[in-house]
A and B are shown apart, each in its own frame.
Chain A
């Protein structure tokens, strides 16, 4: 293996610090390109843990409300954390996820109670008591036909937004 030519310094002592070698462009480029490659590879690999799609079902779903649903009585679709209400041909949906730390709140006669840290919400979702920082958000509801509705759990709407039948 050949080595770079350097000025011969036969008289040098091992105790003498050597002079700086001449600028070595090839060596520097090689080292930096290796470093750049590794860095780029590393950054690319770091994208891997952030999933491109989540394994949860779509937040959008269709629902058929039972005709017998009384005003003010919550309808809780199975597997969804949203409560649907029907008041005089107006339908709206309120999220059941506590705005404090994400527990599922329980619909009561007076509103919603969170079992985890005691937050209480009014019927319209506004905070009455406890550590919850925000009101329970309302969710988008669209009327399809008859008793069929389309709910988007992932989309908040201003409180008071309803869908007419």
Chain B
């Protein structure tokens, strides 16, 4: 009897004791379960750490020295995602006070500006990092193009990247309306009418009545005939919900593909080009090289080189991470410095009765607006569509291998890029100067049918010039890459010049002025 009781009490005691012991050990265990591989002291534990951490495991555990050079990427991809992160945080904060309803929206922005603690700063950061993100995404695309990093097996990731560009521009554009001031209202009115511009073509063909794709696009965008409360709530939905979601999904795929496509593109002879390694690179396999990929059976492609380790790689932690952190903080620093010195614009309350003159779209669309001033369809839909299709096709047309991973790699190289840039600039400046000085067909023969102007205007002329030039280059070098280099460079020049003209040299009624100080008074 007493024996049994004793046993039971001992058991209870030990259970209680064990629980207490466990409780004491809980903090240590907690740490251990959070950081499963222990403190990342050595390269090995660091590798395990990177591998086992949900936020870090998008990185490889070791990174090639080629990819860590600044000139390989200029950190543009990380800078873009850093901007997005900053935008996400500031955007969510702004949502605490923003009210998506006409007039009230404007007042809530005024409140954010004047009384919300840190509100003005947050809005400024949001505005400026939004702009920075657009710039960086464009630069990132140019980097990938000029280093020929879109080639096999990265073709699809290039296409994803284009989707990201669209999502970024869409986010920036939808955010433009939200303050509901004159700037926003008229920029979006113009944007929405560009969406409607296929009507120009369907009207000219006389088929608008039963095939009104332009009208449909505008209706879906605005939910009404004019920019109003329906448009505002739609833009808000796109801005805070749909587009960020799309962007996050695309970014995830984009990152995942980088890993799956074998990291960043680098030339085949990267190891040689890098030269002898400095001290911190040492052979990973000092013993008999082993086959490392147990999943090799399901991995397509070339068999990993046996007998060789990833010799030119260094641990991602800390080498890659500190680079990423540096770019991240640099982006933040840039955003906050801009935000403290420059207030985000906020004009008068939107007034549908008083158009802004000039009414300008966001700056990255001003190149298009310059084209739109001749033909809404060609400038707003036609040429952008041609450019997008062209961009999307680049990796599938250029299947050469020479120069992958190198700046201005491929046939033609840097000298071709320089010559294309000169041609591209000369062509766009000449066309613009001609149009500004002498006008265009409509000014000479007012009765010209719209169809002719739709297809013959400064935008199509420029596109034609660029295309001809790049085909000439393609034939001369007998290389698709050379053609692509020429075309891309030309379009970049065209985009930059048209954007600059639209931003700085266009005044009321979209007339040319050397400076805003010459604009006529009202």
Question: Which A residues form the contact surface with B (CB < 8 A)?
Answer: 1-15, 17-20, 27, 30-31, 34, 37, 41, 44-45, 47-53
Q: Closest chain A residue to B336 by CB distance?
A: A41
Please indicate the chain B residues that have their CB under 8 angstroms from the CB of A51 in the complex.
Answer: 97, 115-117
Among B279, B319, B323, residue most surrounded by chain A Cβ atoms (within 10 Å): B279
Decide if A3 touches B319 in the complex (CB within 8 Å).
Answer: yes
The one of B44, B97, B118, B282 in contact with A45, judged by C-beta atoms closer than 8 angstroms, is B118
Partner of B69 from A1, A9, A14, A53 at Cβ < 8 Å: A1
Q: With A6-B279, A48-B117, A52-B116 known to touch, is A14 a contact of B93 (CB < 8 Å)?
A: no
How many angstroms between the C-alpha atoms of A1 and B278 in the bound complex?
10
A27 vs B197: C-alpha distance when bound (angstroms): 55
- B511 proximal to A (CB < 8 A): no
Q: Which residues of A contact B285 (CB under 8 A)?
A: 14
Interface residue from B286, B319, B329 paired with A14 (Cβ < 8 Å): B286
B41 within 8 A of A: yes
Q: Is the CB of B117 within 8 A of A47?
A: yes
The reply to whether the CB of B136 lies closer than 8 angstroms to some CB of chain A is no
Q: Are B116 and A31 in contact (CB under 8 A)?
A: no
Q: What are 21 A-B pairs at a CB distance below 8 A? A: A1-B68, A2-B278, A3-B280, A6-B280, A10-B283, A17-B42, A17-B44, A17-B45, A18-B42, A18-B44, A20-B41, A30-B326, A34-B325, A45-B89, A45-B118, A45-B122, A48-B93, A48-B116, A49-B96, A52-B116, A53-B115
Q: Contacts A1-B65, A3-B278 given: A14-B284 contact, CB under 8 Å? A: yes
Residues of B within 8 A of A45 (CB): 89-90, 93, 118, 122
- In the bound complex, residues from chain A placing their C-beta under 8 Å from that of B45 are 17
Instruction: Give the CA-CA distance A6 to B70 in the complex, in Å.
Output: 21
CB-nearest residue of chain B to A34? B329
Distance between A145 CB and nearest chain B CB, rounded to angstroms? 35
- Does B502 interact with chain A (Cβ within 8 Å)? no
* Among A18, A19, A27, A48, contact of B118 (Cβ-Cβ < 8 Å): A48
Number of A-B contacts (CB under 8 A): 83
Question: Across the interface, which residues of A come within 8 angstroms of B44, CB to CB?
Answer: 14-15, 17-18
Interface of A is mostly: loop
* Distance, CA A20 to CA B119, complexed state (A): 45
Given pairs A31-B325, A37-B329, A49-B93, 14 additional interface contacts (CB within 8 A): A3-B280, A3-B314, A8-B282, A9-B282, A12-B286, A13-B286, A13-B287, A14-B44, A14-B285, A18-B43, A45-B89, A51-B117, A52-B116, A52-B117
Q: Which residues of A contact B116 (CB under 8 A)?
A: 48, 51-52
Residues of chain B lying within 8 A (CB to CB) of residue A49? 93, 96
The complex places the Cα of A10 from the Cα of B280 at a distance, in Å, of 9
Docked pose: A41 CA to B86 CA in angstroms: 11
A164 to chain B, nearest CB (A): 39
How far is A44 from B326 in the complex, measured between Cα atoms in Å?
A: 22
Distance, CA A4 to CA B116, complexed state (A): 46
Q: Are A5 and B278 in contact (CB under 8 A)?
A: yes
Q: Which residues of A contact B453 (CB under 8 A)?
A: none
Whether A47 contacts B278 by the Cβ 8 Å rule is no
Counting chain B CB atoms within 10 Å of each CB, which of A3, A47, A53 scores highest? A3
Q: Which residues of B contact A1 (CB under 8 A)?
A: 65, 68-70, 323
Specify which chain A residues have a CB less than 8 angstroms from the CB of B439 in the assembled complex: none
Q: Mark B307-318, 1 if CB is under 8 A from A, else 0.
A: 000000010001
A7-B279, A14-B286, A20-B41 known; A52+B65 contact, CB < 8 A: no
User: In whole angstroms, what is the CA distance A10 to B517 when docked?
Assistant: 68
B322 lies within 8 A of chain A by Cβ:
yes
Contact with A along B265-308 (1 / 0, CB 8 A): 00000000000001110111111000000000000000000000
Shortest Cβ distance from A49 into B: residue: B96
Residues of A within 8 A of B467 (CB): none
**Is the CB of B332 closer than 8 A to any CB of chain A?**
yes
Q: Are B322 and A44 in contact (CB under 8 A)?
A: no
Give the docked Cα–Cα distance between A5 and B89 (Å): 38
Q: Which chain A residue lies CB-closest to B274?
A: A1
Q: Which residues of A contact B284 (CB under 8 A)?
A: 14
- List residues of chain A with CB within 8 A of the CB of B286: 11-14
